Amino acid sequence: MSGLGRSATYPEIGHAAFGAAGWFASWIGVVFMTVGVCTAYFVFVANTAVDLLAGGHPFFTRGRTILMLLPVFVLLSWGPYKYLSHFSVIGITALVFGLAVVMYDAFTYNSIAPLSTYEAFSWGTYPLFLGNTAFVFLIHSVVLPMRNQMSKPRFCPYTLAVAIVLVTVLNLLFAVPVYLSYGPATMGNIILNLHEGPLKTSVQVALCVDLFFTYALFLFPMCEALENDIRRLRGGDRHPNQPNLRGLSVSGDGGGGVKGGAQGEELPWAFRAGLRAGLVAATALLCYLVEDFSAMSALSGGFGNNLVGFILPPLFITSMKHKGGWWEENGVGGKLKWAEIGFNGMVSAGGVALLVSSIKTFVKNL
């Protein structure tokens, strides 16, 4: 949706669909998703730092390492986003290097056993798989900010589609042969399967550098959007911006308008600093409480990412189409209309089931 040359934010869409309740539910989802994703990154960096440093000096316990990383992540939460986005090249390079080293290690020190020896399916770990899958694909908090930074935002849907296909193919080409090589010994964090040596250390360092900046890429846009909404509320605007319901456009280039903009006086610097420091501190606390990277990423995917990606969107689109008279204007009615409503309801219900199973599995494995 376009209006002031930008896309509507997720809470604005929620408000357009269900008023204040939709706005609040959107922020709950966005905050939990962002904090969960950033916590998973914090866990990886902290655990890796301890692994690299603890052997050299007993001072580097996990708790002390987290405290030392905390101010660094607070500074990174200030962005700016357009400069941080350039570090994605470093991230891609580190990821490709890591994939290559894992493949080398898997096929050098292991062999693929007969397929009949592998467990085909496990209900006990399936919720963890679903949560981690949601963690990989349902990263909505960076899509709209990246679209707003694009010189040609109309190409965003095509770029996103290519990225999703590419990520899916790469994950399959990597995960299947690596699992067949390591077998039941495959760890939730595959780096732990690597044999000790310079290659493993290089991968750990490269991925830590990558996740330092990826952490900021996820946290910064949410902080900016949250501050904008708080500024509007302080300015007396009790109704956040909402898209024109009749201008709905799936492609993001329709005639819908976003009314107004950030209103109210600029927030005090101390308040903004406290907000960002508080969010980073929340990820640090969760990092301290949850040591397992795969468990944290599964919980984040099954809760926050799932809420933003599966549970709320079908409800929002159904409500907005109903309020905006979309079905009537486009001559869609009867069975087709109710089939779409039913399908949207099934997607949301599936998301709720994933949320419940992810939480139960996480608590069980604590």
Judge whether 184 lies within some domain. Answer: yes
Per-residue pLDDT tens for 112-136? Answer: 888 888 887 777 777 778 888 888 7
* Number of structural domains the chain divides into: 1
Mean pLDDT, residues 149-164 taken together: 81
The pLDDT value recorded for residue 246 is 42
Residue 106 pLDDT > 90: yes
- Residues 211, 74, 261, 140, CA torsion sign: positive
Q: Which amino acid is at 189?
A: N
Judge whether 358 lies within some domain. Answer: yes
Judge whether 2 lies within some domain. Answer: no
CATH of the domain at 232: 1.20.1740
Residue 228's domain comprises: 10-255+264-365
Say whether 243 sits in a helix, a strand or coil.
strand
Give the Cα separation of 262 and 225 in Å (integer). Answer: 9
The pLDDT value recorded for residue 216 is 84
Judge whether 293 lies within some domain. Answer: yes
C-alpha distances in angstroms, 160 versus 168, 224, 251?
A: 12, 23, 11
Q: Element (H or E) spanning 92, and its range? A: helix 88-109
Output the pTM of the full model: 0.81
* Beta carbons of 311 and 140 less than 8 angstroms apart: no
Judge whether 1 lies within some domain. Answer: no
